[in-house]
Each structure stands twice: as C-alpha cells, then as structure tokens.
Amino acid sequence: MIIYPGKLRASVTVFVLFFLLSGMAAAGPADERRSTLEDQLAVAVTIYNEDLALVKDVRKVQLDKGMNRLAMREVSARIRPETAQLRSLSDPGAFTLFEQNFDFDLLTPAKLLEKYLGRAVHIVKTHPTTGRESTVKARVLSTNNGVVLKVGDRIETGVPGRLVFDSVPANLRDRPTLVMQLQNKKSAHQELELSYLTGGLAWQADYVAELNGDDSSVDLNGWVTLTNQSGTTYPNARLQLVAGDVNRVREDMHLIEKRAGFAAEAMDAAAPMSQQALFEYHLYTLARPTTIADKQTKQVALLSAADVPVRKELVLAGNDYYYRSSVGELGQKMKIGVYVEFENKANAHLGMPLPKGVVRVYKKDQDGNAQFVGEDRIEHTPKNEKVRLRLGNAFDVTADKKQTGFKKRASSKKYHYAFESAYEIVLKNAKPEAVTVSVQEPVPGDWKMLEESHRHTKATANTALWRVKVPAEGSTTLRYRVLVRY
C-alpha cells in the first residue's frame, strides 16, 4: 500500500496507489462473507419527497452452517442503519440475526494516514540522478493540517517520496458496508432481501407547458427529476415515488455526506407513470426498470396531456392600509399580474393527482420558436382541483391609482372608527386588442360600497372584485367610494 505525500487536506496533496491483492482493498476480516452488487438479483427503490427513500436489495448469497459474518457491500452511504432488516426469501427463518454494524469510515489517503497514527510506515525515496530507490522507516506523529513523521531522530514534514503501508486497517472500508453477524441453520445459497431507509435520494416533479397562439390551451408534459447522492448505484431498479407529506421523527444523522455535482442524464423517453392511492398519499410507479447512478440527475416521464383548456387573467391587486388614512397618490404605471388557470379534470385531458413541483410555461413566437414566458410552483394537487400559475407582469397593460377623497365619520356604539374614502383607478391598454382586468381590493373591517362606476362582486368577506373591460389602445376609469367601520 503506497501513498505519495506532499500535502494532506488543506496543505498537502496526497496521491494513492492501491495494490488490489486478494481483495485487499475491500478491507475487513478475512473470514467474513462479502456480498457485492454482482450478487444482486433485484433492487426496488421507493423515493419520498423529503430526502428519504426505501431500498429493497435482493441478493443471492452463500451462507455457511453456524455463525456467519456477512458484509453487504455497496449499500447506501446515507443508510439509516437502525432501519435495516435482513430476511431470507428462499428459506424464511433459516437464520437468526445477532448483530449488525454499519462501516462508513471509507478508505481514502487521508483516512489511511489517520489510522496509522503512532504506527510505522516506510518512506521510499528515488535518487534524482541515478533513479535508485532507498527505503527508510518512519512513524506517523500527526495528520492535522499536514503529515508529521518521525524519521530516526528527526521530525519531518512534506517528505519527498512515497509512503508505504503494510496493510489496510480492518475498520476501514473502500465502500459503505453493512456487516451482520448471524447464526445459520444449514449451508446453502439463499436469496436475501435487505431493506432499509436512506437519505441521499430525492425527487421532484417538473412540468413543461406550451401555450397555444391565443392563450386558450396548453400542452402539458410532466417529468420526475431524480437526484442520487447516496453513495451507491441502483442498477435496473424498480422505481416508485410517493407524493405526500409523510411525518418523520427528526434526528441528527452524523453519517457520510458526499457533496458533488451531478451529471445530468438525458430524459428517458417512456410512457407516463401509473399512479395509485396509498394510505393518504399517492404512489407513482415507473413501468420499466431504470438505473439510478450515483452522483446523477435524471428525468423520467410522469404525464403528458394535449390541449388542456386554460384561462388567462390580468389582475391588479390592492392593499388594505389606505382605507384608514389619507394617502393621495397610490402609484403610476402600476404592474398588473398575469395568471393562467386550468382544471385538473378528465374532461380537460388531465384528471390525475399532480405532485408538487415547478411549472415552466413557454409560447412560440412568430417564427415558431418556443420562448420562456414564466414559471410558478404548485403544491400537491388532487384531481378535479384548479391549478393557478402566476407567470409575471403585463407589459402593455398598466394602472394609475389614487385616493380622491377621505374623511373620518362619526363612530357609533357598535363601531369605534368609521372612514369614508374614494378612489380612482385608470386602467390603460396599449395592446391592439381589448382586455379584461380583474381589480381585487382587500377592503378591511365592516364595509359598504357607497358609489361605483362599475358593479363589483364580493369575492370574499374582505375582497371587492371588479372585472373591467379596457378597449384596444385605450383606457377605462374605475371610480368607487366605500365606507369602512371598525
């Protein structure tokens, strides 16, 4: 075992060359039975929303009669070992499990040096002229912010050459490994299923919607975006996803966390996922196996729907603070929000539960190129519910708003305060076609409309709503007077 020292961690670069003789790099006692992904018969992964997944790993393993020390290699580095369960599918009750240990102290140059604190290593130096090698013995004194060695009577750092180690310590593994001690009834191959909960696997829904020419419908495609930073790969896995807020007991987990960038994998061309109710959640199942590689982001198809009817709405939203004081001007060229809304119903070409995620909306320009026009986040949406997206602010439709009158009215026995105020809102439209603007005013307290140029509706207990038509390249003025009492 040879390491080239220069710098360790922040100050030293350490290079390592491993001689893989007789499974030496696997580490662990020689008498243990090691199982790798080569033994794997099947794996199923169920991923939840909050960085949680259930893994069911089925492997064919030869077990001896009597006491066995079984090392299940290449499990998740973010496993919650207290949730691990091992059972025999081919011979239920064939063994009794006594103990299990999760070895997550992984073999790296820095870790190897740490394990050799106070122990002897060898330094191999090469003569710069002759190329002849010489070896001296040294003792590792420290690995904090660099390596410190005792060579004979000298203390040295940054020693040129190679560090040679006698062996890999038994408690240092090159892969995350779950080690179990069990008593087996007979010597035979068994199909073992290891199930456990783990972090490091997550998913989210992403939707792409393309508006048609007159903004009356969208083509909607849903994708599931998977990220795997669990420290292992799940080849040809049966993939299921749970949408819903599953309660969990929060605990500090001091396990290995690998932070690294993900290589994006091209979207898999596949049929949409099937779904079913599960308790108070929804379970989505991919119809085919897929490989979830470590340090990877990939996408699989969730749903596809064409010509989903939508309704576009322009909204001017007010505030409630100016109904109890004199303020005058409230804004010039005020922004008017743009919303689109559709129903998650079968007759609208949808009708399946939509997991929470981000909906990104596009529209083709005059040359036929799809352009991004806005995005919004949706929560879990059951079927037969509405989806409402805020895409941005209108460019050609604006509003000027001011308070034209304010006075304090005499209070009554029932109310402590009473205010009467009047407002003028000029809606302007620079488009070549007419538009309708929804003016939403959150009027506080007990209120009564005294005068208005356009008839309002009471959308909620504290909201007055006007739908005002504004002509092409023209304007419309909304005036109203309201009495507010507290």
- Domain span at residue 432 reads 397-485
Q: Which two tokens stand for residue 370?
A: 């799809």
Does 162 reside within a domain? no
Strand order in the sheet with 311-317: 386-393, 337-343, 311-317, 435-442, 463-470, 457-460
Interval 372-394: pLDDT, tens:
999 999 999 999 999 999 999 99
- pLDDT computed for residue 261 by the predictor: 38
Q: What is the pTM of this model?
A: 0.75
**pLDDT for 372:** 97
Whole-number pLDDT of residue 389: 97
Predicted confidence at residue 128, as pLDDT, reads 83
Q: What is the pLDDT of residues 308-351, one digit of tens each?
A: 999 999 999 999 999 999 998 999 999 999 999 999 999 999 99
If one compares 416 and 456, the residue with the highest pLDDT of the two is: 456
Band (156; pLDDT cuts 50, 70, 90): confident
* Percentage of the chain lying above the pLDDT 90 cut: 68
**263-311 pLDDT, tens digit each:** 334 444 445 688 898 888 899 999 999 999 999 999 999 999 999 999 9
How many domains in the chain?
A: 1
Q: For position 244, what pLDDT does the model report? A: 86
Mean pLDDT of 64-73: 95
In a domain, 433, yes or no: yes
| Residue partners of 179: CB distance under 8 A and separation at least 6 | 28, 32, 69, 70, 71, 72, 100, 101, 102, 103
Instruction: Report yes or no on 175 lying in a domain.
Output: no
Closest CA to 479 of 386, 387, 405: 405
List, in order, residues 6 or more apart from 414 with CB less than 8 Å away. Answer: 485
Query: Is the per-residue pLDDT at 130 higher than 50?
Result: yes
Q: Is residue 55 part of a domain?
A: no
Q: What's the pLDDT band for 411 if we cut at 50, 70, 90?
A: confident
Say if residue 458's pLDDT is above 90: yes
Question: pLDDT tier at 28 (50, 70, 90 boundaries)?
Answer: low
Query: At a CB cut-off of 8 Å and minimum separation 6, what does 333 contact?
Result: 398, 399, 400
478 falls within a domain: yes
Given a cut of 70, whether residue 147 has pLDDT beyond it is yes
Q: Among 17-21, 22-26, 154-158, 174-178, whose mean pLDDT is lowest?
A: 17-21
Task: Flag whether pLDDT at 143 surpasses 50.
Answer: yes
Instruction: Write down the residue that tokens 């929060």 correspond to.
Output: 250
**421 in a domain, yes or no?**
yes
Residue 442 included in any domain: yes
Residue 13 CB neighbour total at 10 angstroms: 11
**Cβ atoms of residues 172 and 111 within 8 Å:** yes
d(Cα 85, Cα 40) in Å, to the nearest integer? 16
Q: What is the mean pLDDT of the chain?
A: 87
User: So what's the pLDDT on residue 271?
Assistant: 55
49 belongs to a structural domain: no
Tens-digit pLDDT profile for residues 44-64: 999 998 889 999 999 999 999
For residue 19, is pLDDT > 60? no
For residue 137, pLDDT beyond 70: yes
pLDDT value for 8:
41
In CATH, what number is assigned to the domain containing residue 451? 2.60.40
Sequence-distant (≥ 6) Cβ neighbours of residue 32 within 8 angstroms:
69, 70, 71, 179
